[in-house]
Amino acid sequence: MARKIPVLFFFSFFSFFGLMAQVSIRDSVISTPLIYATYSYQFPGGDLSRQFGSNSSIGGGFMFKTKSNWIIGVEGNFMFGQTVKNSDSMLLNISTREGFLIDAGGMYADLVYYERGFNFFAKAGKVVPLFAPNPNSGFVILAGIGYLQDKIRIHNPGNTAPQILGDYKKGYDRLNGGFAINGSLGYLYMSNTRLLNFYIGFDFIQTWTKPYRQRDFDTGKQDTRTFNSQFYSIKVSWFVPLFRRAPKEFYLY
């Protein structure tokens, strides 16, 4: 009996949402949950721009839009890129004079460097229904607070170089993380038929991060700097609104 209670609560909760949200989006401002997937192309600024080039970010989130067109929610993203600057100097202390790393088989090791990271934010904002097909669409202003972390991933196909395996790899990955704030300005389109719902806009992230490793192996010292960095993004999101349309009226003569 105890196991049935959470299940019954779960279905009752979403049934309640369904009953409350039988509305006409064309004619009135509605309250509705929004589930979405998102993609951003990011350009770094500040301290991290000296370490990474542009990168991509994919993720998703959950938001709730009120009848006053306020929006609150949470979002998380995975960051990835292929441009790591000054990577040829990272392993100089364990490389040959020509800059090659010798693997366990006595051959030159293949090395590929990537940017990896993630971020998550709690967000709030407002929909301003201008140039919109209904009062639920329009320009959106969002602000958020959260956390961002990134690092350098050194990939050695086949893991043939023991010098950069396991904990040794952590000595070169420049792992850092910290507090971040986020601001967005864009346009939200919610279709009258609920078939097409998207957001496109400009996204900005300001971060204050610090290194997490106790020592960088290439310098032999702990990095005690604080990084002041930015990410400028073009962002596109695809939404699934969880409301039910009001039934159409039919008149018989």
For the chain, the domains span 31-245
Residue 246's pLDDT band, with cuts at 50, 70 and 90, is low
Q: Measured between alpha carbons, how far is 193 from 190 in angstroms, rounded to an integer?
A: 9
Residue 176 has pLDDT above 50, yes or no: yes
How far apart are alpha carbons 60 and 51 in whole angstroms? Answer: 26
pLDDT digits (tens, 9 = 90+) for 210-234: 999 999 998 889 999 999 999 999 9
pLDDT above 70 as % of the chain: 87
What whole-number distance in Å separates Cα of residue 172 and Cα of residue 53? 18
Task: Note the pLDDT tens digit of each residue in 88-122.
Answer: 888 999 999 888 999 999 999 999 999 999 999 99
Whether 196 shows a pLDDT value over 60: the answer reads yes
| DSSP line for 198-227 | EEEEEEEEEEEEEE--S-BTTTTB-----E
What average pLDDT does this structure show over 56-84?
Answer: 97
Q: What is the pLDDT of residues 113-154, one digit of tens each?
A: 999 999 999 999 999 999 999 999 999 999 999 999 999 999
Q: Which residues pair with 200 in a beta bridge?
A: 187, 236
**The CATH number of domain 31-245 is 3.40.50.10490:** no
Judged against a pLDDT cut of 80, whether residue 19 lies above it is answered with no
In this prediction, residue 123 carries a pLDDT of 98
Alpha carbon of residue 74 to chain centroid: 10
Q: Residue 2: pLDDT above 60?
A: no
